[in-house]
């Protein structure tokens, strides 16, 4: 039995992970689960999985969970606070860690899992974007492996030789082609995009995901963050990574080799495939997904992304080229802007403008240690709040 810790258990990736694990009770044991404050779903998961310990970062939610579990005679230990996430990530009883907390909140626990030498199933792309060099160094010193869960990076991983490890430039690779569904606004005119609602932005045509990544998919910032993630994980220059819009979301990404071969990974748009692949690698296990019917799919379309309607991609490319702490700033600015959009304080069309205003203040800096990253994250959030305020009160002009 292989012990698994699922961080972000109540989210979209977390629930998909538990779904895959439920199909293999003879192979995996859930050791620990963690979330932020959803004690209701976490209580259900505790009763179903009987993990040794769970964590909620919100102490009040943790107290409620303790009461619920005591009343149900469930003796799962309930930890609380940020440091509990790191303790679960490093727990020796779980050699496999799914890092599926959303946003910068997932950074410390992801690093802790890497340092502890885990098989790190990396959904939390933000930790690569914010602190790529630290994460890769932690994986190396911990002696574990990092397997990307983002469907595009997992597809690339599947198209590389089996001895490839995170942070190495794969031999013989000329380019990576990252596919993008284009999101719910693929064919919307710019004028309509400006006033898109939260509900419209979160109604992704192919993938069922949490709210933050859904909004990022709608703005194409998700693809921008993925471009940075690919550049770091596969040690490829930005110019050797092409984003290709592929509305059917069947080809999850491609690797072009110097001999003219292009390898792709195809499958239904269902996160359980990359999750199962990463859990079992190099073996294969059933994931419960619908198998691909190419006759029914009939056609696969590919086109260029539109940089005018989707300026977020351009901003991310610029941050990737700047390197250092620029992607960390970009990530923080995007988190603040998307939160404001989800809270109905900011128009969808203004998200890139707020991010651009933040990036205008970026004065350089390298990823040296966790402190430098957290300081940069704080500075960028500070500028984002100022930009947001100015924007909301109508004084910032959109340059997007």
Q: Which residues are at the interface with ligand NDP (CB under 6 A)?
A: 8-14, 35-38, 57, 85, 100-102, 105, 123-126, 150, 207, 209-213, 271
Q: What are the backbone dihedrals phi and psi of residue 171, each rounded to the nearest 5 degrees, phi first?
A: -65, 140
User: Between 100 and 326, whose beta carbon lies closer to ligand NDP?
Assistant: 100
| Strands in 223-292 per DSSP E | 241-245, 251-257, 262-266
Q: Least distance in Å: CB of 99 to ligand NDP?
A: 8
Q: Least distance in Å: CB of 384 to ligand NDP?
A: 18
Ramachandran area for residue 293 (φ above 0: left; ψ -120 to 50: alpha; else beta): beta
Q: Least distance in Å: CB of 274 to ligand NDP?
A: 8
Q: Least distance in Å: CB of 281 to ligand NDP?
A: 17
The structure tokens listed for 269 are 């748009």
Q: Least distance in Å: CB of 191 to ligand NDP?
A: 29
Q: Least distance in Å: CB of 211 to ligand NDP?
A: 6
CA angle 188–196–180, rounded 5-degree value: 55
User: Between 90 and 213, whose beta carbon lies closer to ligand NDP?
Assistant: 213
User: Between 139 and 202, whose beta carbon lies closer to ligand NDP?
Assistant: 202
Distances (CA, A) of 174 to 47, 48, 141, 157, 237: 49, 47, 29, 15, 10
The structure tokens listed for 29 are 């044991």
User: Between 36 and 118, whose beta carbon lies closer to ligand NDP?
Assistant: 36
User: Between 148 and 357, whose beta carbon lies closer to ligand NDP?
Assistant: 148
Q: Do 358 and 327 meet the contact criterion of CB atoms below 8 Å apart?
A: no
How many Cβ atoms from other residues are within 10 Å of residue 106's Cβ? 24
User: Between 9 and 357, whose beta carbon lies closer to ligand NDP?
Assistant: 9
User: Between 104 and 357, whose beta carbon lies closer to ligand NDP?
Assistant: 104
| H or E, element range at 97 | strand 96-99
Residues across the chain: 400
User: Between 138 and 357, whose beta carbon lies closer to ligand NDP?
Assistant: 138
Q: Least distance in Å: CB of 398 to ligand NDP?
A: 26
Residue 290 DSSP one-character state: P
Q: Least distance in Å: CB of 389 to ligand NDP?
A: 24
Closest residue to ligand NDP using C-beta atoms: 11
Burial class of residue 293 in the structure, from the number of CB atoms within 10 Å of its CB (0-12 exposed, 13-18 middle, 19+ buried) = exposed
Q: Least distance in Å: CB of 88 to ligand NDP?
A: 10
User: Between 186 and 396, whose beta carbon lies closer to ligand NDP?
Assistant: 186
Q: Do 96 and 2 meet the contact criterion of CB atoms below 8 Å apart?
A: yes
Could you give the CA distance from residue 56 to residue 213 in angstroms, rounded to a whole number? Answer: 21
Strand order, beta sheet including 28-35? 77-80, 53-56, 28-35, 2-7, 96-99, 119-122, 145-148
Dihedral sign for Cα atoms in the order 127, 131, 136, 138: negative
Strand order, beta sheet including 173-180? 241-245, 173-180, 251-257, 262-266
The structure tokens listed for 117 are 């030498």
User: Between 101 and 241, whose beta carbon lies closer to ligand NDP?
Assistant: 101
Q: Least distance in Å: CB of 190 to ligand NDP?
A: 26
């Amino acid at each position: 039995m292989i012990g698994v810790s699922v961080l972000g258990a109540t989210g979209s990736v977390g629930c998909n992970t538990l779904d895959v694990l439920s199909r293999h009770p003879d192979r995996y044991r859930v050791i620990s689960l963690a979330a932020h404050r959803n004690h209701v779903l976490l209580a259900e998961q505790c009763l179903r999985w009987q993990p040794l310990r769970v964590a909620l970062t919100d102490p009040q939610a943790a107290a409620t969970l303790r009461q619920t579990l005591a009343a149900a005679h469930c003796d799962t230990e309930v930890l609380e606070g940020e440091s509990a996430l790191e303790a679960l990530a490093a727990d020796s009883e779980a050699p496999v860690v799914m890092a599926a907390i959303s946003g910068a909140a997932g950074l410390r626990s992801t690093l802790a899992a890497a340092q502890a030498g885990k098989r790190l199933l990396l959904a939390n792309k933000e930790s690569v974007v914010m602190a790529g060099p630290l994460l890769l160094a932690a994986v190396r010193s911990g002696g574990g492996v990092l397997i990307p869960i983002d469907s595009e990076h997992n597809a690339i991983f599947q198209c590389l030789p089996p001895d490839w490890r995170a942070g190495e430039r794969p031999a013989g690779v000329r380019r990576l082609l990252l596919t993008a569904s284009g999101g719910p606004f693929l064919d919307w005119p710019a004028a309509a995009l400006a006033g898109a609602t939260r509900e419209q932005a979160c109604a992704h045509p192919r993938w069922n995901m949490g709210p933050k990544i859904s909004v990022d998919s709608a703005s194409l910032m998700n693809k921008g963050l993925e471009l940075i993630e690919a550049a770091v994980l596969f040690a490829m220059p930005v110019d050797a990574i092409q984003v290709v819009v592929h509305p059917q979301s069947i080809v999850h990404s491609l690797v072009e080799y110097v001999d003219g071969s292009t390898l792709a990974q195809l499958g239904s748009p269902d996160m359980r495939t990359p999750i199962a692949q990463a859990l079992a690698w190099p073996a294969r296990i059933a994931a419960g997904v619908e198998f691909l019917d190419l006759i029914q799919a009939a056609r696969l379309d590919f086109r260029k992304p539109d940089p005018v309607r989707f300026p977020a991609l351009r901003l991310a490319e610029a941050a990737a080229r700047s390197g250092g702490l620029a992607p960390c700033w970009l990530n923080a600015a995007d988190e603040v802007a998307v939160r404001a959009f989800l809270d109905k304080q900011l128009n969808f069309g203004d998200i890139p403008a707020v991010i651009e205003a933040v990036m205008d203040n970026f004065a350089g800096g390298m990823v040296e240690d966790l402190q430098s990253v957290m300081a940069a994250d704080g500075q960028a959030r500070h500028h984002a709040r100022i930009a947001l305020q100015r924007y909301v009160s109508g004084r910032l002009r959109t340059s997007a």
